[in-house]
């Protein structure tokens, strides 16, 4: 870690209160990078990359998505469609005074709002693993040793943050799977029309799903993402590559950004 200060604030966007972490300069920045976490993560998952890019003059923005951490968790299941998330993020960019800034976004963010992004980074997308809690009891940690990239302090942060809103909001995303397919139908044939770099660990279970590697390396991915710049497969890495291989992923993101 290079010691960049992480700033925190809560902003009103799209009818909810969103916790946002920021790093790097607020003015006279080289550009802005929007980091979006997955399940069951928080803004904190991107702390290493925020530190790395913030020290290099980029304004780094990482929100807790709705239902996670310090952001509002609406009780209605119907409030967790992909369109709600897109609405939250567009409203966040507007609230922060950012338009058409560089972005690190999930795949669903680009088709409907590609014009708001100058470039895109996809890290371990396609699907996300759900952790089983059979070994958990009153928020106690699993008895198995923590991986070397995850410290007790990290676990304390994740557990404390999830206690604020719980997993209920996050699980509601999965309850909207069919609804999301219905809502996204008009964009079924849409292409991701921004420069894109894809990073994945070769041990990521989603990378090893049947047909996925053929899709990524056999031309299907490039067909859907015409401006695909590079596919990076990190040997020996799993799903949470931005933490498992923090420096390597940070370097890949930086190298990608400065190319354009």
Task: Name the residue ranges covered by the structural domains of the chain.
Answer: 7-257
CATH level 3 topology of 7-257: Rossmann fold (3.40.50)
Mean pLDDT of the region 32-49: 91
d(CA 249, CA 191): 25
With 70 as the cut, is the pLDDT of residue 105 above it? Answer: no
Count of Cβ atoms closer than 10 Å to residue 81 Cβ: 20
pLDDT of res. 129: 29
Which residues lie below 8 Å from residue 193, measured CB to CB, with a gap of 6+?
Answer: 110, 114, 226, 227
Give the number of residues written for the chain: 260
Q: Exposed, middle or buried: residue 205 (CB in 10 Å: 0-12, 13-18, 19+)?
A: middle
Give pLDDT tens digits for 212-233: 999 999 999 999 999 999 999 9
Confidence band of 2 (pLDDT split at 50, 70, 90): low
128 and 35 in contact (C-beta within 8 Å)? no
**Ordered strands of the 32-34 beta sheet:** 7-13, 16-23, 59-63, 32-34
- Range with lowest mean pLDDT among 168-182, 184-198, 210-224, 226-240: 168-182
- Residues 62, 66, 26, CA angle at the centre, nearest 5°? 25
pLDDT of res. 106: 42
> Tokens 């354009």 map to which residue?
260
With 70 as the cut, is the pLDDT of residue 167 above it? Answer: no
- Note the helical H segments in the chain: 47-54, 82-95, 109-113, 152-165, 168-175, 177-183, 212-217, 220-224, 241-244, 246-257
Rounded to two decimals, the pTM is 0.80
Give pLDDT tens digits for 128-145: 322 223 333 443 434 456
């Amino acid at each position: 870690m290079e010691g960049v200060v992480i700033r925190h604030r809560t902003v009103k966007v799209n009818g909810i209160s969103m916790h946002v972490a920021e790093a790097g300069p607020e003015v006279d920045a080289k550009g802005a990078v929007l980091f979006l976490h997955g399940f069951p993560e928080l803004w904190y998952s991107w702390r290493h990359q925020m530190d790395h890019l913030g020290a290099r003059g980029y304004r780094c923005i990482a929100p807790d998505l709705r239902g996670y951490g310090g952001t509002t968790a609406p009780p209605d299941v119907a409030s967790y469609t992909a369109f709600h998330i897109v609405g939250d993020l567009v409203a966040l960019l507007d609230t922060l005074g950012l338009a058409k800034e560089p972005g690190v976004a999930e795949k669903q963010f680009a088709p409907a709002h590609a014009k708001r992004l100058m470039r895109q980074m996809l890290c371990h997308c396609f699907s996300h693993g759900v952790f089983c809690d059979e070994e958990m009891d009153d928020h106690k940690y699993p008895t198995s040793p923590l991986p070397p990239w995850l410290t007790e302090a990290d676990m304390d942060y994740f557990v404390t943050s999830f206690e604020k809103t719980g997993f209920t909001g996050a699980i509601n995303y999965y309850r909207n799977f069919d609804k999301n397919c219905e809502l996204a139908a008009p964009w079924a044939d849409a292409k991701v029309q921004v420069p894109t770099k894809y990073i994945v660990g070769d041990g990521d279970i989603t990378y090893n799903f049947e047909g996925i590697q053929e899709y990524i390396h056999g031309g299907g991915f490039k067909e859907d993402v015409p401006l695909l710049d590079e596919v990076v497969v990190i040997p020996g890495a799993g799903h949470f590559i931005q933490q498992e291989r923090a420096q390597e992923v940070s370097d890949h993101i930086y190298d990608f950004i400065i190319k354009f």
